[in-house]
Amino acid sequence: MLLAAGESSRMGRLKSLLPWQDGTLIAYQVRCLLDAGAQQVIVVLGHQAESVRPHIPKLPGVRMVVNTRYHEGKTTSVKLGLAHVPADVEGVILLPVDQPRPAPLVAALVQTFREHRAPVTQPTFGGKRGHPIIFRADVLPELASITEETLGIKPVVDRYRTEAELVPVDSPVALVDLNTDEDYQDALELWKEYQPSTSPSAPPP
């Protein structure tokens, strides 16, 4: 699930449409999720949805939904996305569009999830937990009840903190969060240097 409904108020321009890797950030994120082994990518749009829609790759497995309540907070996007998740999924990768992640990193998470089936699977760098997070299917009902008042997904992640499967990575890309233009410029430089120590083959979709 790729969350791309926000107003990008701190950035001052739509994060989804930031230039990234010879395209836009949202196109990069969609392709990376697919390349990493996601069977389906549900893109949750909201603010200026019609401007963003043309930049989403028209590929098998990509589905767009529009959150008309995006101004109420990110939890509304998570809940809307969950409402469109197939009933037979094994788990859901949750990734905000402003947290770009290369396919090898996501593929390592998918591989680890399929091996261990932990309720939460999460990358780490320097002792800090990053994103995306994979939630096992039986945890999804708890995600569906999150609220802005209780800080969104945080209580769910904290509940499974000791059971989580952590995947160490050797680059701060696991922690990148594009809130400001300075963050964006720093991330562009970081991507020039990023070389994963291992590049696990993504399982077939």
Whether the pLDDT of residue 205 is over 70: the answer is: no
| pLDDT computed for residue 195 by the predictor | 63
Q: List the domains of the chain with CATH numbers.
A: 2-193 (3.90.550.10)
Nearest to 113 by CA among 97, 128, 132, 129: 132
Residue 62 structure tokens? 């990509």
25-35 and 103-116 helices cross at what angle (nearest 10)?
40
Across the range 87-108, mean pLDDT stands at 96
| Percent of the chain residues topping a pLDDT of 70 | 95
| pLDDT computed for residue 194 by the predictor | 77
Whether the pLDDT of residue 103 is over 60: the answer is: yes
Dihedrals φ, ψ of 106, to 5°?
-65, -40
Q: 173-187: per-residue pLDDT in tens?
A: 999 999 999 999 999
Across the range 34-46, mean pLDDT stands at 96
Q: Which residue has the tokens 């990053």?
A: 130
Contact 56, 27 (CB under 8 A): yes
Distance CA 3, CA 64 (A): 10
Stated as kind and residue range, the H or E segment containing 134 is strand 133-136
Identify the band that residue 200 occupies on the pLDDT scale cut at 50, 70 and 90.
Answer: very low
Cis peptide before 132 (omega within 30 of 0): yes
**Distance in Å from the first CA to the final CA of the chain:** 15
Residues recorded for the chain: 205
Identify the band that residue 12 occupies on the pLDDT scale cut at 50, 70 and 90.
Answer: confident
Contact 24, 64 (CB under 8 A): no
Across the range 44-71, mean pLDDT stands at 97
| pLDDT computed for residue 196 by the predictor | 60
